[in-house]
Structure 1
Amino acid sequence: MSFPCIFSSSSLKAVGLIPTGAIDAGYRLFDCAAVYGNEDRIGKVFQDAFAKGKVKREELFVMTKVWNDMHGKGDVLISCAKSLKDLQLDYVDIFFVHWPFRNYHEPGASGDYRHPDSKPFNVDEYMETWRQCERLVDMGLTRFIGMSNMTIPKLEAVLPQCRIKPVAIEMELHPSFQQPELFEYCVARDIQPIGFCPIGSPTRPDRDKTENDITDIEMPELVEIAKAHNVHPAIICIKWAVQRGQIPIPFSVKENEYVSNLKCVTEDPLSDEEMAIIKKLDQNNRLIKGQVFLWEGAKGWEDLWDVDGTITK
C-alpha cells in the first residue's frame, strides 16, 4: 500500500488552525492518538473541511492509537469508539498499539517515575490487545492495524501469532538513530516503517534528555548538505527519510515550516553521495528512551528496548 504525506497532531495547541492549514497545503495523512488529548478538535477540522468541499473522507488517511491504560479485555474497542466519536469518522485507516505494554505513567511524570503496576513486556498480554485490534478490522472500524515502539525480539515473538499482520510500525528514526536492523526487518516483511522524531526531536521532554544526546540538525555533515541545498538541516532530515523509504512524521506549528516539509519531498532530491554520507551518521542515538514506563527493579531504559537481543524479563 502507499501512504500520502503525513502530518503529526501530537501536542497541538492551535489545533483548530494547524490541521486546517495542513489540509490546505496538501497534507492527507494525519497521525493522531488518544493520549494527545485533541482528537475532538481535529474532528471538527475534518468535518469543516468535508463540508466546504476541500477534501473527501476517502482522500484522507487518518491514524490513531490506543494508549497503554486501555489494553485490557474490551478496552481497545472502547478506545477506538472514543477516537472515532472525537474525530467524527466512521473508521480510521490505521489503528496502532501505541506502546507494547500496559505500563502507565502520570502526566508530566519525571524520568525516575515508576508506576507500581508496571512490568516487563508480556507476549500473552500483548496478543490479547492485538486480537482486539484484529476484531476492529473485522468490524470495519479500521482498515489496517499497526504496531509502535517495537523491537525485533518482540516482533519475532508476536508476528507468528497474528491473524492480521501489521501494515506499518512506528519507530524513532532520524539520521543519528537509523535502526538499520529493525528497518530492514520491517521492509523484508512488507511492513512500512513510519518514523517519529524525524529531525531528532529537539523539543522532546526534559526527562528524555541526557548529556550524551546528539542534536541531528547541528551535525556538521547535515549542516553542509543543507547549505548546498540552501535549506535548513531539518529539511535534509525529511528528504533523507523519504528517499530512504520511511514515512517521516514531522511536527510544526508554523505554516512556513509545514509547507516547506511537504514541498521539500517533491523537489531537489539528495544525491546518492549525500545519502551515503547521511547513512554513516548513525550513532545509535535513541532520544525517546521511555524511562517512565520502567518497572521496579529495571536496570535502566535499555531494558525496554531488548538491547542484548532478547526480551527483558
Structure 2
Amino acid sequence: MSIATDIEEHRAHLVSVGYRMTGSLADAEDAVQDAWLRLNRLSDEERARIRDPRAWLTTVVGRLCLDRLRSASARRESYIGPWLPEPLVSTADEDDPLAVLVREEEVRMAAMVVLDQLTPPQRVAFVLHDALALTFGEIAQVLSCSIATARQHASRARRAVAAAHPPPRAAAAEQLRLLTAVADALSRGDTQSLVALLHPDAVLVSDSGGMTPAARREVYGADKVARLLVGLSQRYGEDLVAGWAPVLVNGEQGWRSGGHGGAPESVSVFSVRDGQIVAIYSMLNPAKLAAALDRTDRPVF
C-alpha cells in the first residue's frame, strides 16, 4: 500500500483525533500533514516494520498535538475572556466534508469544553485510551513518560470528565423545537418565556478574545442568561437577526447571527438536559469564526 493511500484511508480518523486533542481543526489538519511528511521520510525498510499504519499515524498525530496543546496553554494565559474550541460549522448535507466528523458524540461542543479543562497530557491520554483504545504502553511513548504515569494521566482525566457529566446529544427534533422557541421569545422580548426554556443551572459562555463586545466571564443562572440575551436582542434589534440562519455546530443545531450594522457576528450552539437548555456556547472571536465559516465552502478531508 502506498504512503498516499495510507494517509487518505485514515485521514478522517486522524483529523478527528487531532481536533479532539487540540480543539482546533487547523491544528488537526496541520498535525495530519506533518504525520504524512514523517511517514514519507521513512525508508522502505522502516515503513515495512510498521504493522498497523493507522495506529502508527495515530500515535504520531498524538505526539504532534501534544506539542500544540502545550503551546496553546501558554497562549491562553493572556487570552481575554472565556476560551471555546473552534466550532465545526457544517450543513445537513451528507456530502458536506465535515459530515463524518460531526456525527461523533465526542466532538459535540459540551464534550469538547470538558476536554479543554484537562492538562495537555491528561487530554492526550484520555483521547488515545478511552476513545481509541490504545494501550498505556503506546500512550507512554507519545507522552514520553512511564506506563504508570500514562495510566495516571488517563485516570485523572476520566474522573474529571465523569464529574463534569456533559449531557449527551439531544434528538434533532428537540434541538429544533428549542431553537425555534428561543428565537420566538427573543423576537418578542419575552424574558419569562426564555427563562422557562433554560435549565435553572444554565450557563452562557461567550468567546470573543476581547476582539468584540461580549461577556468577559461565564454567565450563570436561567434568569441572568435570559436577561442578557433579551438585552442584546433589544440593543441590536434588527441588526442582530438580519444575518440569522440555522446551522449545525459540532453536529448539533445552532445558529449564526449578527454581522450587520453594529451587531457582532457570532455562531452559537446549546446543550440540552431534561428538556431544557443547560448551556449556550457563543463564538464571537473573528479569527476563530473566519476559520470555521471558511470551511463551509471548501473541502476538509
Output the TM-score relative to the length of structure 1. Answer: 0.25
Q: Give 1 or 2: higher helix fraction.
A: 2
Output the TM-score relative to the length of structure 2. Answer: 0.26
Larger Rg: 2
